[in-house]
Chains A and B, each alone.
Chain A
Amino acid sequence: MSVGLEHYLILSAILFGIGLIGVLSKRNVVVILMCIEIMLNASNIALVAFSRYIEPAFLTGQLFAIFVIAVAAAEAAVGIAIIISIYRNRETINIDKFNLFKW
């Protein structure tokens, strides 16, 4: 069975699902950030696979993946800054205790 588009897409779906399980079920907020990065990487694999198998001359999927990587870097920086600044006030990284919006 030679490797085709569907193999890459199903790998991307499995990684996305694993990242989703991590985001929904973990308590350490840095681990939640790591699982968000897993989800973004899974979508990048799907983009590049589509670009290579459906329209190889255009490279649009790869350019989109570069933009997704840049946005993920910016989001990781701001996320870590928020986590560290909340940790300075509250000494906890348990996301059940991040209830700053509650009155």
Chain B
Amino acid sequence: MLDIVFWVLAIVAVLAALAVLILRDVFRAAMALILLFLTIAALYITLSADFLAVVQILIYVGAISILIIVGIMLTQNVKRGNPSGKLVIPALVTGILLIIILALSISRTFWNISNEAPVQNTTAPLGELMFGPGGYLFPVEMIAVLVLTAILGAIVLLREK
């Protein structure tokens, strides 16, 4: 059962990623990107990462996709806005070579796969990791400062004088 779900999600994800590259209309490419994000959230659920799936939908589909669509709308070339550049053949060669090398090295490594069951409700254990004695409190606070700095930078770049 989980196998069929994984194969369906994997095929939809790869097709959505190819659609981002191939579609001529850049707004449809953004819609394909949103489909990819939703498919990846479903893949997280098959990996028992339920909190991460919800975070993925909230932040990627809810915020980053809207930001990308605002960027598309404010830079108005929508209908034929997704042309290929001059370097399509070298890019294809590089990408396919990278995929082949990664796939070969993944299939030839011996992984120490553990037989434990995964953690089921990950929200509370993630909360303990972040804010408890797990030691990750400082990165959490730094992420807050980083996002604040990014927002301030974006506002300074975009204000009307």
Given known A26-B82, A83-B75, contact A34–B13 (CB-CB < 8 A): no
Q: Hey, which chain B residues are within 8 Å of A1, CB to CB?
A: 3
- Is B126 in contact with A62, judged by CB distance below 8 angstroms? yes
A to B contact number (C-beta, < 8 Å) = 235
B30 to chain A, nearest CB (A): 7
B35 to chain A, nearest CB (A): 12
Which label, helix, strand, loop or mixed, suits the secondary structure of the B interface? helix
Please give the residue numbers on chain A whose beta carbons come within 8 Å of chain B beta carbons, in ascending order: 1-11, 13-22, 24-28, 30-31, 33-35, 37-38, 41, 44-45, 48-49, 51-57, 59-60, 62-63, 65-67, 69-78, 80-85, 87, 93, 95-96
- 14 A-B pairs with CB atoms under 8 Å apart are A9-B102, A9-B106, A13-B98, A17-B96, A25-B87, A25-B91, A26-B83, A27-B84, A31-B20, A34-B29, A74-B146, A78-B157, A87-B75, A93-B81
CA distance A65 to B129 in the complex (A): 13
The closest CB in chain B to the CB of A18 belongs to: B17
- Size category of the B interface is 35 or more
Given known A6-B111, A38-B17, A54-B112, contact A76–B68 (CB-CB < 8 A): yes
The closest CB in chain A to the CB of B9 belongs to: A11
Chain B stretch 99-143: residues in CB contact (< 8 A) with chain A: 99, 102-103, 106-107, 111-114, 116-119, 122, 125-126, 129-130, 136, 139, 143
Further 16 A-B residue pairs, CB within 8 A, beyond A37-B33, A52-B48, A81-B158: A3-B6, A9-B106, A17-B98, A18-B14, A18-B21, A19-B17, A28-B83, A31-B20, A31-B29, A48-B52, A55-B114, A62-B52, A63-B126, A71-B143, A74-B151, A80-B70
